[in-house]
């Protein structure tokens, strides 16, 4: 429902990790027909890292990339619900239903929206969500933490040189594990809101003759 703009990173930082040297199978599907072909990714002759180092770096970078994507998916999932809640609240307050606003319904809508927003704020910096692309008024959310960590551990981006040719450092591994755990907690909280919070809210709204709020898909 709103764009998110941020300053300082992009391009390689969000393109995803490079694969480790080796032989892979490329698959192309067009009009229902699939063609496969082997592709050999060669080692950069300028790299000073071992094949094992590069493989471990690529593996961590891919995990970080997956969590960055999961963070973005959760943000979009939350926004789908929040847009419906915001529209419902505006409708209730507008008088368009031909009767004064029911404060209990307005409050219930605002409460659930606030609960979704609390989860969203852990994923993306609130001031960035407001469109302030250079705001540093608070800590960045999990989405950008994964983006920056991916740059540090992987191919680099902006003013970060990266570490794709060498074994991940212990701090990189520990930070990823910490952020991955935090992401799991946010995902669980959102699933709880979907299964219980929305169900209770929709029950109240249906009794009042209002439409349901539909959650986005979680898979």
Is the pLDDT at 105 greater than 90? The verdict is: yes
Task: State the pTM of this model.
Answer: 0.85
DSSP classification of residue 108:
H
Is the pLDDT at 12 greater than 60? The verdict is: no
- The answer for 183, left when phi > 0, alpha when psi is -120 to 50, beta otherwise, is alpha
Q: Which of 38, 36, 37, 44 is nearest to 18 (CA)?
A: 44
pLDDT at 146: 94
**Domain spans of the chain?**
12-207
pLDDT at 176: 98
- For 22-51, write each residue's pLDDT tens digit: 999 999 999 999 999 999 999 988 888 899
Percent of the chain as helix, strand, coil, to the nearest 5: 55, 10, 35
Q: Which of 69-73, 95-99, 184-188, 203-207 has the lowest mean pLDDT?
A: 95-99
Q: Which of 68-77, 131-140, 145-154 has the lowest mean pLDDT?
A: 131-140
């Amino acid at each position: 429902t709103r764009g998110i703009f941020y300053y300082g990173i992009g391009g390689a930082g969000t393109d995803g990790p490079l694969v480790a040297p080796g032989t892979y199978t490329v698959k192309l599907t067009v009009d229902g027909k699939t063609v496969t072909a082997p592709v050999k990714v060669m080692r950069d002759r300028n790299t000073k890292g071992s094949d094992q180092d590069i493989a471990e770096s690529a593996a961590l970078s891919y995990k970080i990339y997956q969590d960055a994507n999961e963070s973005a998916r959760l943000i979009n999932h939350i926004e789908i619900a929040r847009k419906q809640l915001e529209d419902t609240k505006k409708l209730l307050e507008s008088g368009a239903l031909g009767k004064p606003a029911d404060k209990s319904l307005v409050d219930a809508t605002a409460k659930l929206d606030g609960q979704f927003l609390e989860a969203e704020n852990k994923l993306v910096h609130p001031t960035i969500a407001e469109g302030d692309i250079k705001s540093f008024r608070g800590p960045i959310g999990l989405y950008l933490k994964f983006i920056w960590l991916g740059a540090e551990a992987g191919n680099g981006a902006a003013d970060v040189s990266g570490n794709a040719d060498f074994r991940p450092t212990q701090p990189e591994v520990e930070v990823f594990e910490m952020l991955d755990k935090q992401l799991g907690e946010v995902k669980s909280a959102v699933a709880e809101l979907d299964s219980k919070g929305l169900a209770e809210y929709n029950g109240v709204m249906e009794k009042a003759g209002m439409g349901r709020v539909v959650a986005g898909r979680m898979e």
